[in-house]
Amino acid sequence: MDYLTLEFSGDVGIVGLNRPSKRNAISDAFIEEFDDVITQVEAKAKAGVIHGHGPHFCAGLDLAEHVKKTPFEGVQGSRRWHQVFARIQRGKLPWFAALHGAVVGGGLELASSVHVRVADKTAFFALPEGQRGIFVGGGASARTARLMGVSRMMDLMMTGRSIDADTAERWGTVNYVVDAGTALEEAVKMAAKAATNAELSNYAIIHALPRINDMATDDGLWVESLIASFTQTSPEAEARLNAFLEKRVGKVSNPNA
């Protein structure tokens, strides 16, 4: 592979963005390789982690390539990003991102497509498209805006402001902030835990929750009842529930203990 690395740790597929000389900038070839790697991870793993080699996670779109495109080529490229990132967001497995350094533009769009984001203290976040004379094209208007809110996204795009990891957590853009250099280790641990869940439960969480969030309340509750009934009658759910009732697995831990 030219732009990515792939390794497996138990049931977790670990994908590394491997273009550090370009701050892991995303090109068309990069996207196509990513599509292939997602297929490999889905075939062999039960959860996935994305991280960046070098000092940054990803500084976004490869502008040198983008500036040469016609408007129609730009639309086609944007739609291809949407297709590949949708395979992460609405795919087969839970995905985690380990973030450090620059998480900028397309890098933040990629991070927004995963289900759980772990940022270390070096991470910073920005959407500088307004200063480049362009608009987001990798899914930020539909994904990142839902995480941080439209007003905050407008702020980043119009002012060129960047935010640190603590602010990103406060805004709901990341789920965890950890010490510098530990994001990958922590993300892999979390992914390994998610990989032990019932496959059907993970799939329902990935696919149902975002859709219910976009529904009217009564419609969402109706869908929830159907999915709850469907998942709890599976053989794996029955085995796991009996294990809990028979005290063969522990209760939910108390974080205040």
> Using CA atoms, how far apart are residues 183 and 147, in angstroms rounded to an integer?
20
129 annotated active-site = yes
169 annotated active-site = no
> Using CA atoms, how far apart are residues 99 and 51, in angstroms rounded to an integer?
6
Closest CA to 171 of 160, 179, 163: 163
CB 133 within 8 A of CB 87: no
Q: Looking up tokens 């998480």, which residue turns up?
A: 103
Helix (H) or strand (E) holding 169: helix 165-170
- Find the catalytic residue in 42, 65, 109, 238: 109
> Using CA atoms, how far apart are residues 147 and 140, in angstroms rounded to an integer?
10
- Find the catalytic residue in 129, 169, 199, 224: 129
State the catalytic residues.
109, 129
